[in-house]
Chains A and B, each alone.
Chain A
Amino acid sequence: METVITNNRLKDLFAAKRDILSIYFTAGFPQLQSTADILLSLQNAGVDMVEVGIPFSDPVADGPVIQRSSQQALDNGISLELIFEQLRTVNDQIQIPIVLMGYFNPILQYGVEKFCQSCSETGVSAAIIPDLPLAVFKDQYEVAFGAAGLNFIPLISPQTSDARIKEIDGATEGFIYVVASNSITGAKGEISNLQEQYFKRIANLGLDSPLMIGFGISNNATYRKACQFAQGAIIGSAFINRLRESNDLENDIKTFVDEIKLENNDS
């Protein structure tokens, strides 16, 4: 009994829009029960897609801002089980695509098939699992993802060869997460010439998959710049910093998103 879900929200989004703004936040941060409120606020503020981070004790591919938020969320008592419960409470109110992002071990302990099933039940369109290599995914988990209509989102970095990018392109049905720089230390506030050359190189490969640029995207300028070379961009650390300082989540989220999306900037 194939229950492939064809109306994946991601596919619809990429078919319909450019300059897609995706915001990452860590589930269970700043408060254990913030997850659902932040999701709704982001949707209301006009964000196109959200990435919900599954906290892990040892996030090797994250910079200090996201590390700290993950640790705080774990101290708050977050778990994958609880994240799905929180997503369930807003499932019928959220229309934008949700992507889960997390390290492999918590998913492995939850059970990969059960994870795919829970994603499907809570409206999650895709998963980014930085330490699950493409080859292992294809070998062991592609079937389970496919059965649940869940996309596996691969990453590429400035060091990824063209040949491998093409291989990755052929293997994904969601989008490719373009890691903007070698540095995982968070937002820098600008995009260098070297990065621009890298974005151009990727854009010129003529890939089938939509591209989303992340890492180091922090403000209107970097978002606009990234959108010149990709379908959209992802903001993480800068948003987490804003959440950390916030006393009024809904308002501050609205302001943050408005600032990022501001049209008549210098670009």
Chain B
Amino acid sequence: MLHFNGASAKYGISEAGYYGEFGGAFIPEMLYPNVEELRLNYQEIINTPSFIKDFRDLLRDYVGRPTPLFHAKRLSKKFKATIYLKREDLCHTGAHKVNNTIGQILLARHLGKKKIVAETGAGQHGVATATVCALMGLPCSVYMGKLDVERQGPNVDRMRMLGAEVIAVESGNQTLKDATNEAMRHWINNPIDTHYIIGSVVGPHPYPDMVTKFQSVISDEIQKQLLQFTGMENPDYVIACVGGGSNAAGAFYHYLDEESVRLIAVEAAGKGLDTDESAATTFLGKPGVLHGSKSLLMQSEDGQVIEPYSISAGLDYPGIGPMHANLYQQGRVDFMAATDEEALNAGMQLCQLEGIIPALESAHALAVLPKLQFEPSEVVVLNLSGRGDKDLSTYTEELR
């Protein structure tokens, strides 16, 4: 039975909304009533039996959960370990993002909100938000960087088909960071009846915790499936990619206190950690405040946020969620980085070995398999966060 407890005492959120030194709610006073309303109510709402039932039913009947835990035999043979893929790519809308939007739309309904605003980068979260808004009959505004609108045409079309208003953001670099700024401005301008569905484990408290809890269904299922298939309580490794970090938060959640499980987060190195074109926050960032929380942040000496770069629009973010920043600082999670090229190759390899086209984001997680020295007896769970249909043109262009 799904529930939202099981939080780690050591790595979970504090009463004040912090993970170690990271987190908090660094918001303008104009957002205080909205964020405070959420903070005071979210725990109680998401733990009511009716909420849990609605959430569970929709995840099962609408999203298609539980998603399979697939024993990838040829991949296993190649890397000399037992590798399981958690198939989040098989969720309705094609990625794990919908776990969170289902949870948040139900929460918005409980709070009596009438309108939804969201940001999106590649468009996966935007599509997942537009989808649940259509399902619940709520109007939806999605902010998306103008550059992303141009390069992610199919997802823009999907959102519009689903009834969402897609607003192209022309400020800054016209990507995810700027879309997030604009979505926050929209929320400031529409404080009464609008709920902001943030797409990752970022933003002011309680968003990181709320999104983590909605995504924790991933590790909840992995635990049960692994026990059923192997009789093992725990795998040796859990691997996930990190942009803001929502799929990793969900995949790691129930293993945080199981210190024998090696947790590996993979960031986008872009064209390389030693170039100006990267998005690997733990390698290149330092503590800072952006989008409502204190976390690790890629920034200049003077505290200006640096525009990140990755071939994967979903990893193209200059920060990571505050929980991940703390897990990094505490040494609980090992952070690795994969370049564009490594990710493309790993993605192609999965197509050929297992007949699965992974999202470029998920391909970053796959890209560290050759870098890890597994024992033949070891069990590895890799979170395949999304499917690669949206990335076809990038794959074909780059590999031509």
Contact = CB atoms under 8 A, between A and B. Distances in A.
A6 interface: no
B289 A57 contact: no
A154 B29 contact: yes
5 contacts: A60-B184, A130-B28, A133-B25, A133-B26, A133-B27
Interface stretch (B186-194, B239-247, B260-268): B186-194
Interface residues of B, number: 34
A64 interface: yes
Contacts of A159: 30, 32-34, 191-192
Contact of B302 (A81, A134, A183): A81
Contact of B26 (A64, A81, A109, A136): A136
Nearest to B294: A108
A190 B308 CA distance: 41
A79 B301 CA distance: 10
Contact of A57 (B172, B287, B292): B172
Contacts of B27: 131, 133
Kindly list the 8 A-B residue pairs having the minimum CB-CB distance in the complex, ordered from nearest: A109-B303, A106-B303, A155-B29, A130-B28, A79-B302, A61-B28, A157-B30, A57-B304
A161 B37 CA distance: 12
Given A110-B302, A131-B27, A132-B26, 15 more contacts: A58-B177, A60-B188, A74-B304, A79-B302, A105-B289, A106-B304, A109-B301, A131-B289, A131-B292, A133-B24, A157-B29, A159-B33, A160-B29, A160-B32, A185-B189
B304 A155 contact: no
Interface of B: 24-30, 32-34, 171-172, 177, 181, 184-185, 188-192, 287-292, 297, 299, 301-305
Nearest to A157: B30
A168 to B, nearest CB: 8
Given A67-B171, A131-B289, A110 B26 contact: no
B189 A60 contact: no
Contacts of B290: 58, 105
B181 A58 contact: yes
B289 A182 contact: no
Given A182-B190, A182-B191, A60 B303 contact: no
Contacts of B304: 56-57, 74, 106
Contacts of B192: 159
Contact of B303 (A64, A71, A108, A154): A108
A63 B184 CA distance: 12
Contacts of B191: 157, 159, 182
